[in-house]
Structure 1
Amino acid sequence: MKHTGWIMSIVVAATLSACTNMNPQQQGTVSGAAIGAAAGAGIAAISGGSGWTGAAVGAVAGGVAGNIKGGRAQ
């Protein structure tokens, strides 16, 4: 479980470094997914669930919300 934080940090850093040529909807999707994954993993860890499952569910929910919000920003 100690390696999960490092892996998530690397994935988020790699994802955010590729955001320079994206439109607002794409940026919202990526940002929402990253924030959702972190929040989902944190909530799962606090509640005693699987961090990976929480991250996956959070990433999907955050990605959808970010896509909708980013689409309205155009």
Structure 2
Amino acid sequence: MQTSLFTRLAGASLVLLGLAACDPNYQTGLSPDTQRAAGGAVAGAVIAKALDEDIATGAALGGAAGALCDDAGVCQRRY
């Protein structure tokens, strides 16, 4: 099944929004790691759906990547 351009653009947009969760001024009452994990899980699920892959696996990988992005140096902690 072909994935539409709209679906791919929507997935890319969600990835960018997930990375925006790295902003230290973004406050929701959750810890920063939890925010990044949630954003990564949503982005991973959307990307998996756009690529016609397993959504649960995409969400798990995205959540892990989001939670660990500051440890990998992608999202720098600013205290």
Q: CA RMSD in A?
A: 2.0
Q: Which amino acid aligns with 2:41?
A: A
Q: TM-score, structure 1 length as denominator?
A: 0.57
Q: Which has the higher contact order (CA 8 A, sep 6+)?
A: 1
Shift of the alpha carbon at 1:38? 0.2
Q: Does the alignment pair 1:63 with 2:71?
A: no
Q: TM-score, structure 2 length as denominator?
A: 0.54
Unaligned runs of 5+ in 1: 1-16, 20-26
Q: Using the aligned pairs only, state the percent identity.
A: 34
Unaligned runs of 5+ in 2: 1-27
Match of 2:45 in 1: 41
Task: Write out per-residue CA displacement over residues 23-65 of structure 1, whole angstroms, 9 at most, x where no aligned residue.
Answer: xxxx221011000000000000010100000000000000111
The answer to whether the 8 A contact 1:32-1:66 is kept is no
The answer to whether the 8 A contact 1:33-1:66 is kept is no
CA distance in 2, matches of 1:30, 1:18: 10
Structure with greater proportional helix content: 1
Match of 2:78 in 1: 73
